[in-house]
Chains A and B, each alone.
Chain A
Amino acid sequence: MSQLDRILSSIFSDINTAKARADMTSREIANRYISDEILQYFPIPRVGIDNLEVELKYVIENVEEKVENTSQSQQRLTDFIQNFSVSTAQELRKTISNEAKSNELYQELEGYPDQNWESNIAEMLTGSLKSINLSTPNVQNTISKSFQLIQTEIKEVIPKANIVGSFASIPTLKGTYSLISLDEKGQTEFKLKNEFTNEREAITEAKGLIEQISKNQLKISDSKSSGTVNTAKLVSGNKQLEILAKADPNSRFNPKALFDSSIAKKAVAVKNAPIANSWVLGKKISPQEARNTSNAVQEKVDETLFTVSKNLLSKKSLDFQNGIQNILDQSKITTLKIAVDAEKISKAKPESVLTLKFNLSAKDFAMINESDSPSNF
Chain B
Amino acid sequence: MISPRFISDLLGAPMAAIVQAEAIAARATADFIKEVGFTKPSDASDLEYGNVRNITFNYSRNIGGNEEVVTSIEVPLLTIVSIPMLKIAEAEIEFDLVLSQPDTKDSSSNLKKSQLAKATPLKAIFGKKPQAGKPQTTSNTEANMNVKIKLAQSEPTIGVIQLLNILEANQK
Contact residues of A with B, CB < 8 Å?
Answer: 2-3, 5-7, 9-11, 13-22, 24-26, 29-40, 42-58, 339-343, 345-346, 362, 367, 370, 373, 375-377
- Specify which of B29, B115, B149 is in contact with A49 (CB 8 Å cutoff): B149
Which positions 148-168 of chain B face chain A at CB distance < 8 Å?
148-158, 160, 164, 167-168
Smallest Cβ-Cβ distance to B136: which chain A residue: A346
Top 9 nearest A-B pairs by Cβ distance?
A48-B154, A21-B12, A18-B11, A45-B22, A17-B8, A18-B12, A22-B15, A57-B144, A9-B119
Within the assembled complex, what's the spacing in Å between the Cα atoms of A291 and B122? 85
- Residues in A with CB closer than 8 Å to B7 are 10-11, 14-15, 18
When the two chains form their complex, are residues B119 and A25 in contact, meaning their CB atoms are under 8 A apart? Answer: no
Q: Give B38-80 interface residues, CB cut-off 8 Å to A.
A: 47, 49
- Known contacts A14-B11, A15-B11, A18-B8: does B16 contact A56 (CB below 8 Å)? no
Neighbour of A50 across the interface among B33, B151, B156, CB < 8 A: B151
On whether the beta carbons of A375 and B101 are closer than 8 Å, the reply is no
Contact check, A51 vs B149: say whether CB atoms are below 8 A apart. yes
The CA of A11 and the CA of B16, in the complex, are separated in Å by: 18
From B26, B98, B147, contact of A342 by CB (8 A): B98
Contact B100 A47, beta carbon cutoff 8 Å: no
Contact between A45 and B23, CB atoms less than 8 A apart: yes
- Distance of A36 Cα from B160 Cα, bound (Å): 18
Q: Is the CB of B100 within 8 A of A342?
A: yes
Grouping DSSP codes into helix (H, G, I), strand (E, B) and loop, the B interface class, with mixed when no group exceeds half, is: mixed
Interface size classification for chain B: 35 or more
Q: How far is the CB of B14 from chain A (nearest CB, A)?
A: 9
Instruction: Identify A21's interface contact among B15, B138, B151, CB under 8 A.
Output: B15
Asked if B106 is an interface residue, CB under 8 A from chain A, the answer is: no
Complex contacts, B47 vs chain A, CB 8 Å? 37
Q: What CA separation (Å) do A39 and B100 show in the bound complex?
A: 43
CB of A46 within 8 A of CB of B156, answer yes
Contact A2 B11 (CB under 8 A): no
Whether A46 touches B145, Cβ cut-off 8 Å, given contacts A2-B120, A21-B12, A22-B15, is no
* One of B16, B33, B101 near A38 (C-beta < 8 A): B33
Chain A contacts for B8, CB-based, 8 A: 13-18, 21
Q: Judging by beta carbons under 8 Å apart, are A39 and B145 in contact?
A: no
Q: Once the chains are docked, how many angstroms separate the CA of A346 from the CA of B135? A: 10
Most buried by A among B47, B100, B144, B147: B144
> 16 other contacts beyond A21-B12, A25-B16, with CB at 8 A cut-off?
A2-B120, A7-B119, A7-B120, A14-B6, A14-B7, A17-B114, A18-B7, A18-B15, A29-B19, A39-B27, A45-B88, A52-B150, A53-B148, A53-B149, A346-B136, A377-B157
Q: Cα distance A42–B13 when bound, in Å?
A: 23
Q: Is A375 a contact of B154 with CB atoms below 8 Å?
A: yes
Q: Most chain-B CB neighbours within 10 Å: which of A47, A51, A345?
A: A47
Which A residues are in CB contact (< 8 Å) with B160? Answer: 30, 44, 46
**Cβ–Cβ contact B144 & A340, under 8 A:** yes
Known A39-B26, A58-B144, A373-B157: A340·B15 in contact at CB below 8 Å:
no
A166 to B122, CA, bound (A): 83
Please tell me if the beta carbons of B15 and A42 are within 8 angstroms of each other in the complex: no
| CA–CA, A346 and B127, complex, Å | 13
Given A29-B20, A39-B26, A47-B154, answer yes or no on A340-B116 (Cβ-Cβ < 8 Å).
no
Interface: B110 (CB within 8 A)? no
Cβ contact within 8 Å between B100 and A341: yes
Nearest B residue (CB) for A360: B149
Q: How far is the CB of B76 from chain A (nearest CB, A)?
A: 14
B residues in contact with A39, CB < 8 Å: 26-27, 30
Among A6, A25, A340, A342, max chain B CB count under 10 A is at: A342
User: Complex formed: what's the CA distance from A15 to B149 in Å?
Assistant: 10
- Asked whether B150 lies within 8 Å of A19 as measured between CB atoms, the reply is no
Measured between beta carbons, the chain A residues less than 8 angstroms from B151 are 47-50
CA distance A339 to B145 in the complex (A): 12
**Within 8 Å CB of A24, what residues of B?**
16
Q: Is the pair A10, B121 in contact by a Cβ cutoff of 8 Å?
A: yes
B26 to chain A, nearest CB (A): 5
Contacts A47-B19, A340-B122 given: A40-B152 contact, CB under 8 Å?
no
- Give A39's nearest chain B residue, CB to CB: B30
Q: Is the CB of B26 within 8 A of A42?
A: yes
Closest B residue, CB atoms, query A2? B120
- Which residues of chain B are near A36, meaning CB under 8 Å? 30
Please, which residues of chain B bring their CB within 8 A of the CB of A46?
19, 153-154, 156, 160
Q: Nearest chain A CB to B79's CB is how many angstroms away?
A: 15
